[in-house]
Structure 1
Amino acid sequence: MSAVAHGINSNPEGDSAGVPWAGRTLTAQPFPGDDGSADPALLEALAGGDLAAITRAWAPTRAMVPIVAVLGEGDDDAELVAAQGDKSADMALVTLVGEDEAKVLPVFTSVAALQNWNPKARPVPVEAARAAQAAVVEECPRIVIDPAGASVELPRPAVWAVAQGRDWVPPATDPELLAGIAALVTAVPEVKAHRCEPDGEAGLIVVLGLPPGLEREQVRATTTRIGELLLTDQMVTERTDSVRLAVRSV
């Protein structure tokens, strides 16, 4: 993965939206007593390797997100020039670019884990839900936890679940999702049975049971109709990375 820094506008008289600092009340440190160490329950979940358990353990924790300094006008540090997104910015949020060219937001369990990844990055503590919301805003489909250590990627549906404050389970075991899919596919008269199977960590294969003897065009029309229903359903698009259809005779 390669790193990209996204600029945060620095204005001594106001914030990035132009709202003056004067007259504001500063809130208390949101993590009093935080020594920057990792949450033991999260470390245990990471060691276990179960993605649903990792997401569940990460959601209530404090995460560390990396912020890096970027160049001002006239600076010529080549290392920072390669990373900066906006020369007028002073600090920037770092995202990574995955092998599929999609952006990934790195987060860390501790200050030590972040510094092991990039000693120049400044650790900023945030609630995991806020980090997930930032990933959505920055159009990062995935979050990677401790990329220099455990390096566990949360898929888009898990990121969205944490951002929305709800539990995430793999699509093939999500009762609400499965009920919603059942309502969609059984409304199509040609479908006599169906089942859902896992397709990777966050995808689904919907197996359709169709009556024997259907013409090829009838099968195509049926699968096209169901595909449209699934792809336009909000729950399906939020809770799965992908949906594939398979057909069998019943």
Structure 2
Amino acid sequence: MDHERQLAPSPFPGDAGVADPATRRALAAAVGGADPAAYLRAVAVLCTDRLLVPVVATATRLGETVGGLASDKEAEMSVVMLQAADGRRALLGFTGLDALHAWQADARPVAVTLDKAAQTARAEGVAALLVDFAGPHPLVVDGEVLESLAAGRRLVETAPGEFGWLVEADGADPAAG
């Protein structure tokens, strides 16, 4: 087994895990879902930010210490999903470490763009992406919006209250702009 793994450089160097105040304001304005433009504006703002997707360690093999205590011999890191009573599952994402730790203090954050989180959600067969599930302003991204994000599109506000999908040109990297 090769134990010398290389970590990829962070796409968000210098990120301290603090939520962007503009993102939090947009999510707060979208609470309640009465204004479709506020919801779309929140998604558009999330497209310009990063999300923290939580991963947790799951023991795959247990052992016993010399003193007789149980210990993890091997563990895998797993992306966290929530499952509703009706069986639908959702991927979690957080705008800041404060929101992630309010949900689960020992979860480890992985910084990703919204489209990457949506691609993970689609690959895992989940119905939604829950942003800031534990607060302060939870937002559900699902349906056609989630599918468009997973396809690599980014939502932009083209004029006040008007929105469109930004599609990358052939060979262009949407994360670069």
Higher alpha-carbon Rg: 1
Deviations 1:44-72 (A, max 9, x none): 11011122111111112111011111113
Once the two structures are TM-superposed, the CA of residue 124 in structure 1 deviates from its matched residue by: 1.2
Structure 1 outlier segments of 4+, above 4 Å: 173-176
Deviations 1:70-126 (A, max 9, x none): 1132369xxxxxxxxxx9642111100124311101100011110110012111111
Deviations 1:132-169 (A, max 9, x none): 11001001111110010012111221112222232459
CA separation in 2, counterparts of 1:105 and 1:95? 5
CA separation in 2, counterparts of 1:145 and 1:95? 12
Correspondence 1:138 to 2:124 = yes
Correspondence 1:102 to 2:88 = yes
CA separation in 2, counterparts of 1:174 and 1:128? 17
Whether contact under 8 Å (1:60, 1:129) holds in the other structure is no
> What is the TM-score when the length of structure 2 is the normalising length?
0.70
Once the two structures are TM-superposed, the CA of residue 175 in structure 1 deviates from its matched residue by: 9.0
Partner of 2:107: 121
Task: Give unpaired runs (5+ residues) of structure 2.
Answer: 31-37, 65-72, 157-161, 166-177
Partner of 2:2: 13
- Change beyond 3 A, Cα 1:28–1:117: same
Once the two structures are TM-superposed, the CA of residue 27 in structure 1 deviates from its matched residue by: 4.2
- Calculate percent identity across the aligned residue pairs: 33
Whether contact under 8 Å (2:57, 2:76) holds in the other structure is yes
3-state DSSP of counterpart to 2:80: strand
Partner of 1:63: 51
Whether contact under 8 Å (2:56, 2:80) holds in the other structure is yes
Letter in 2 for 1:156: G
Aligned-pair Cα RMSD in Å: 2.9
Higher RCO, Cα 8 Å, sep 6+: 2
Task: Give unpaired runs (5+ residues) of structure 1.
Answer: 1-11, 15-19, 77-86, 177-250
- Change beyond 3 A, Cα 1:75–1:152: farther
Q: Which has the higher strand share?
A: 2
Q: Which has the higher helix share?
A: 1
Letter in 1 for 2:2: E
Whether contact under 8 Å (2:50, 2:112) holds in the other structure is yes
Once the two structures are TM-superposed, the CA of residue 32 in structure 1 deviates from its matched residue by: 1.1
2:16 to 22, 35, 39: 35
